Amino acid sequence: MASFLFKSAGVALGATYVEKLYGPKDPENLFGATTVLLIGTGLWSVLHGMKVGKARSKYMELATKDGEEDVEHRYALPNLYVQGISKHARAFNAIQRSHQHIFETFPQLALSAMVGALNFPITAALSTLVYVAGRVAFSNGYANSEGDVSKRYSSKLAPYMWYGLLVNFAVGIVSSIKIIASKKIS
């Protein structure tokens, strides 16, 4: 875990250093790249959430056909997750979890990316893109796992979600320090 954090911090520090030396002198012009990625990710999360509604109906119907008890009570809203360990409950819960997990990382990513993009728009956009690619792969792996949650990392891109997130944290911190030190965005 520590090496994972150090690698991410090293990438962030190296990338911000290179960007400051060779990057654009007017970073505000590239700020929009990060915002477009974040808005797109927000839209994708809404669309991914629609899979949950479809899955709720699908697995409720399958559970009824298989004779599960209290199907309406267990599967219907407002329940976020389905109680029980049947194959249908596990499959639905994996899809629900694939969507819920987005909200455990996206707000922090968005804040870090936006602050980071104020001074390091290229680094912030690239690390956000890495997060998005990993996030989509991770969520799709989770949603398609049929209840075998180890499949959430079935794509080689899935672990990169964590690198993109941690690099964004570091870039956001470096940008914040720069803002505090200079009292202006430059």
Sorted by where each starts, the structural domains of the chain and their CATH numbers stand as 2-49+99-182 (1.20.120)
pLDDT on residue 110? 97
Radius of gyration over every alpha carbon of the chain, rounded to an integer in angstroms: 20
Report the pLDDT value the prediction gives residue 112, as an integer from 0 to 100.
97
103 token code pair: 């909200």
**pLDDT < 50 regions, the chain:** none
Residues 12-61 pLDDT 10s: 788 888 888 887 777 677 889 999 999 999 999 999 999 999 999 999 99
First to last CA, the chain: 34
Is residue 124 within 8 A of residue 116, CB to CB? The reply is yes
Burial class of residue 35 (count of CB atoms within 10 Å of its CB; 0-12, 13-18, 19+):
middle
Residue 43 CA to residue 37 CA, distance in Å, equals 10
Average pLDDT, the chain: 91
pLDDT at 25: 75
Token representation of residue 95: 């899809």
Contact predicate 147/39, CB 8 Å: no
Structure tokens, 181:
């030190």
- pLDDT at res. 27: 67
